[in-house]
Amino acid sequence: MTAEPASGTGTGTGESTDDAAALPGGVKAAVEAVLMVVDEPAAPALLASVIGVPEQEVLAALTELRLEYDGYTGGGPEGAPRGFELRDVAGGWRIFSRADYAPVVSKFVLEGQSARLSQAALETLAVIAYRQPVSRARVSAIRGVNVDSVVRTLVQRGLIVDAGTEPETGSLLYRTTPYFLERLGLGSLDDLPQIAPHLPGLENLAEYEDTTY
């Protein structure tokens, strides 16, 4: 699907921009490229604004992509579905591993990656463990660095998982998993050691968090 060129800046509700018309592969390829890097479900209006086309074109592209991933090529016989699928969840769209392959993905995440966690990952995991449920933005504020890639790594390792959204901002929240407790040899989060003794002059992590803003 190729966007029609038009003057002006795309807002997601108006005409397609010249830049959108020049995209290789058209709107559908552009939508797919963005979906490959999002960390949270992307709303059609946001995708339309970024790509510079009307929201209706984005919705059409999303529908086509979902059908393609499910094995429908349009007019021809149904083929085998891809190992991933496109879902409309929480007001946005995101690519997920297909549920049929969950055992394979779980084995890879839990057993196929034996490398030790980096210092950055360990620090991020500690913040999430003590402040859960917590958003990436809050973790970034506490650590003073961007933690997007580290959070993705922890999710892939099965150590943390989505825990709903923050009411005030709509940001995804994260919490630790039973696998996290298993790896640390803990029965519950109550068994986590007190952190105050390791932060001289601070009574708890909440106070530490406040000093980062």
Q: With bands split at pLDDT 50, 70 and 90, how would you rate the model's confidence at 119?
A: confident
Task: Give the fold, CATH level 3, of 113-210.
Answer: Arc Repressor Mutant, subunit A (1.10.10)
Predicted TM-score of the model (pTM): 0.48
22-40 pLDDT, tens digit per residue, is: 677 789 999 999 999 887 8
**What is the share, in percent, of the chain residues with pLDDT greater than 90?**
34
- Tell me the DSSP string of 85-139: EEEEETTEEEEEE-GGGHHHHHHHHHHS--PPPPHHHHHHHHHHHHH-SEEHHHH
Predicted local distance difference test score (pLDDT) of residue 213: 33
Predicted local distance difference test score (pLDDT) of residue 2: 38
Q: Highest mean pLDDT range out of 5-9, 72-76, 80-84?
A: 80-84
Predicted local distance difference test score (pLDDT) of residue 195: 66
Q: Residue ranges of the domains in the chain?
A: 18-98, 113-210
Give the 3-state secondary structure of residue 79: coil
Q: Do the domains 113-210 and 18-98 match in fold?
A: yes
Sign of CA dihedral 181, 185, 191, 194: negative
In this structure, are residues 209 and 131 in contact, taking their beta carbons and an 8 Å threshold? yes
Give the 3-state secondary structure of residue 11: coil
Q: With bands split at pLDDT 50, 70 and 90, how would you rate the model's confidence at 8?
A: very low
124-138 pLDDT, tens digit per residue, is: 999 999 999 999 999
- Class for domain 18-98, per CATH? mainly alpha
Q: Give burial (CB, 10 Å; 0-12/13-18/19+) of 134.
A: buried
